[in-house]
Chain A
């Protein structure tokens, strides 16, 4: 009863505060050249208010802008914010950067950055993958060497979005070449705006540039920016990846031609109708199958959520990414089949071909990015089905003895 009173009182407090302060925000605009979403001055001002009122991270302790609330009460706050469409709450669950820093950062770095991160006053990027370390992320060869009160970093990173505008990058680098692969890695907040950091956009197979390569030459990172201890970076990374996965949406984009698709019926059916191909019995089989793939994935997700709500974990959650890869590749294949020779073309005069061809290529964003389908199958096989891991020949030897190809 006392708890119920507290929760009611909390709900009233949030509502009253939102009623007094929330006036909406202008629509966010994508940045130029794939720089990600820019944060408008209005949005920054709003976030500053939310942080000051201690709504941004209510689960956190009072020392760090929080209220020390249990999850159930924090959810009440999030629900009230969501009800009026106001952003900024629940960052103790969703703010990858602030959570990672709070869990592993030095006192000095936390004092310096936690507030700005919650207020989105500093921009961040991820410096994980390397040209030579993709699926095998622990095989990184970017190195950080101690020199007085700082580290000097040398190497290159890839698949970094937002690198050009970032103030800091969350960096994994090798600090011990005699330790085994996972044990020699450390985790840093690398200041991006310095001469030793060069950002080059990557031109993707879709002819877009959403990612960068980052070349790091004698870049400086203060000792204070090391998270946890030396050689403890792999553990920090796992925490960071868990936050990232927990907030990652589908990520996959739809058609890009800008020419509208049907909203009143299944888009794939509408496309076949428009192309005069809906009577083709072979195509109809394909259409039914790809529509079914998407529908089955939605049913799986709904079932997983219901299981989670009842407190039982579901193997279905981990299947979503693998399922989405197949959906995207198969939909693109059927879009191409609908068009036939029309798919030879591209450009603004041929929007359906533009979409089919773009989606064919962009499907790899999902089947490679964030862990390839093959890595995903390993994870499902090992963590869900309990199958044994492959023997790893490089796991327990000093990293300097590990073979590297490309």
Chain B
């Protein structure tokens, strides 16, 4: 897969970090998560100007032509800032699916808008089972009309374009569906992570436009890259939570001393550093292996998927405990990260599923 020069990657990451420090501070996140759409269109436009919305889009279609390493770097920054955005839905899943299929007309028509951030696309990958596996697809095509249910669809309620995996005879196909078409009913799902937007879609004979190409392999590749992005988000989020927890442990005094001087806190912090650094290593390694197209990329991606998910959940959960009462309040940011960590750990498969996939990738 494509890769930028290391200096370009660092420059991009620095630019994103600066932008998010300014525009995705805690107050911004709290304001955005209360809105209906759940992302800030003005910030999204700035990310587009920076090339982030079209990061993975081929240059011919107005994108940056970047790959897994750049996505991972950007997502570390996004995770740290708890960015609310449709990046995974539109910029990763939809882009990768379109680029993995074999439909030049659809690519030429859709990718420039997605790269520019003006078209929001999303991918309907799984049904109510929420397995993100081939047998979890619960939409069926009949003469290009779709019926059935897609759920846990990222930003479905905001999307201009739906790309829908559907059973098609003995196989599987991707259909482009207008969210406003007859026979499409989208309802927003109430998410435990308020910074996340998901919808459930009921198709009842909805008209779809069949896209050429092998559907599930393209979907699988898109999910793998989304997992790498998610791993970056988890690693970056974990790092940020550890940082502010350490700061708190240095400044919060009880019994006449900083609570971080107590081994009960200090030892938790040391363990969290190990989890966090391991998550960073795993996420970057998965990105590198995928970028190289290495034969062990499958193992690297699944390793990152469960290691980063578990690390982010543990770091955020322990951070709440280490803060004590203050983190039991809504106004403290720790629970926002805990909610994000718990959401990220279920998207595209649970840690247990990824452990099983890892073992299979190792030949067991």
Q: Which residue of A lies closest to B250 (CB)?
A: A387
* Residue of A291, A299, A322, A378 most packed against chain B (CB within 10 A): A299
- Judge if B362 is at the interface, Cβ distance under 8 Å: yes
Q: Which of B20-28, B112-120, B275-283 lies at the interface with chain A?
A: B275-283
A381 touches B270 (CB 8 A): yes
Q: State which size class the interface on A falls in.
A: 35 or more
B303 touches A292 (CB 8 A): yes
- Which residues of A lie under 8 Å from residue B260 when comparing CB positions? 381, 385, 387-388
Q: Known contacts A284-B356, A288-B355, A385-B269; is A319 also within 8 Å of B281 by CB? A: no
Q: Which residue of A lies closest to B311 (CB)?
A: A296
A285 touches B281 (CB 8 A): no
With both chains docked as a complex, state the minimum distance between the C-beta of A306 and any C-beta of chain B, in angstroms.
10
Q: Which of A8-16, A90-98, A248-256, A266-274 lies at the interface with chain B?
A: A266-274
Q: Which residue of B lies closest to A281 (CB)?
A: B356
Interface set, chain B 255-276, CB cutoff 8 A to A: 257-258, 260-263, 265-267, 269-271, 273-274
A300 touches B277 (CB 8 A): yes
- Judge if A265 is at the interface, Cβ distance under 8 Å: yes
Interface residue SS majority, chain B:
helix
Q: How many residues of B contact A (CB 8 A)?
A: 35
Q: Known contacts A386-B246, A391-B257; is A287 also within 8 Å of B359 by CB? A: yes
* Residue of A266, A287, A292, A319 most packed against chain B (CB within 10 A): A292
Interface set, chain B 71-124, CB cutoff 8 A to A: none
- Which residues of A lie under 8 Å from residue B262 when comparing CB positions? 390
With both chains docked as a complex, state the minimum distance between the C-beta of B313 and any C-beta of chain A, in angstroms.
14
A284 touches B266 (CB 8 A): no
A296, B282: Cα distance in complex, Å: 7
- Which residues of A lie under 8 Å from residue B303 when comparing CB positions? 292, 295-296
- Judge if B306 is at the interface, Cβ distance under 8 Å: yes
- Judge if B312 is at the interface, Cβ distance under 8 Å: no
* Residue of B249, B269, B277 most packed against chain A (CB within 10 A): B277
Of the candidates A269, A285, A374, which one forms a contact with B362 in the assembled complex, judged by CB atoms under 8 Å apart? A269
- Judge if B285 is at the interface, Cβ distance under 8 Å: yes
Task: Give 1 or 0 for each of A363-399: 1 = CB within 8 Å of chain B CB.
Answer: 0000000000010111011101111111100000000
B270 touches A380 (CB 8 A): yes
With both chains docked as a complex, state the minimum distance between the C-beta of A35 and any C-beta of chain B, in angstroms.
36
B364 touches A269 (CB 8 A): yes
- Which residues of A lie under 8 Å from residue B214 when comparing CB positions? none
B267 touches A266 (CB 8 A): no
- Judge if B358 is at the interface, Cβ distance under 8 Å: yes
A303 touches B364 (CB 8 A): no
B250 touches A388 (CB 8 A): yes
Of the candidates B250, B261, B263, B363, which one forms a contact with A269 in the assembled complex, judged by CB atoms under 8 Å apart? B363
Q: Known contacts A273-B364, A322-B270; is A389 also within 8 Å of B261 by CB? A: yes
- Judge if A239 is at the interface, Cβ distance under 8 Å: no
A299 touches B285 (CB 8 A): yes
- Judge if B284 is at the interface, Cβ distance under 8 Å: yes
With both chains docked as a complex, state the minimum distance between the C-beta of B13 and any C-beta of chain A, in angstroms.
16
A265, B299: Cα distance in complex, Å: 14
- Which residues of B lie under 8 Å from residue A390 when comparing CB positions? 261-263
A103, B258: Cα distance in complex, Å: 38
Q: Which residue of B lies closest to A326 (CB)?
A: B274
Q: Which residue of A lies closest to B281 (CB)?
A: A299
A265 touches B362 (CB 8 A): yes
- Judge if A166 is at the interface, Cβ distance under 8 Å: no
A319 touches B358 (CB 8 A): no
Interface set, chain B 225-239, CB cutoff 8 A to A: none
- Which residues of B lie under 8 Å from residue A285 when comparing CB positions? 352, 355-356
A377 touches B281 (CB 8 A): no
With both chains docked as a complex, state the minimum distance between the C-beta of B212 and any C-beta of chain A, in angstroms.
37
Of the candidates A299, A322, A380, A391, which one forms a contact with B261 in the assembled complex, judged by CB atoms under 8 Å apart? A391
B364 touches A377 (CB 8 A): no
- Which residues of B lie under 8 Å from residue A281 when comparing CB positions? 356
- Judge if B29 is at the interface, Cβ distance under 8 Å: no
Q: Which residue of B lies closest to A388 (CB)?
A: B261
A378, B265: Cα distance in complex, Å: 10
B355 touches A296 (CB 8 A): no
Of the candidates A278, A299, A374, which one forms a contact with B282 in the assembled complex, judged by CB atoms under 8 Å apart? A299
- Judge if B307 is at the interface, Cβ distance under 8 Å: yes
A289, B262: Cα distance in complex, Å: 30
With both chains docked as a complex, state the minimum distance between the C-beta of A200 and any C-beta of chain B, in angstroms.
34
Q: Known contacts A292-B358, A295-B303; is A284 also within 8 Å of B257 by CB? A: no
Of the candidates B273, B285, B352, which one forms a contact with A315 in the assembled complex, judged by CB atoms under 8 Å apart? B273
A388 touches B355 (CB 8 A): no
A272, B303: Cα distance in complex, Å: 20
A272, B364: Cα distance in complex, Å: 9
Contacts beyond the supplied A289-B355, A297-B278, A376-B270: 11 A-B pairs with Cβ under 8 Å: A265-B362, A266-B363, A269-B359, A269-B363, A296-B281, A378-B266, A381-B263, A381-B267, A385-B273, A387-B266, A390-B261
Interface residues of B (CB under 8 A from A): 246, 249-250, 257-258, 260-263, 265-267, 269-271, 273-274, 277-278, 280-282, 284-285, 303, 306-307, 352, 355-356, 358-359, 362-364
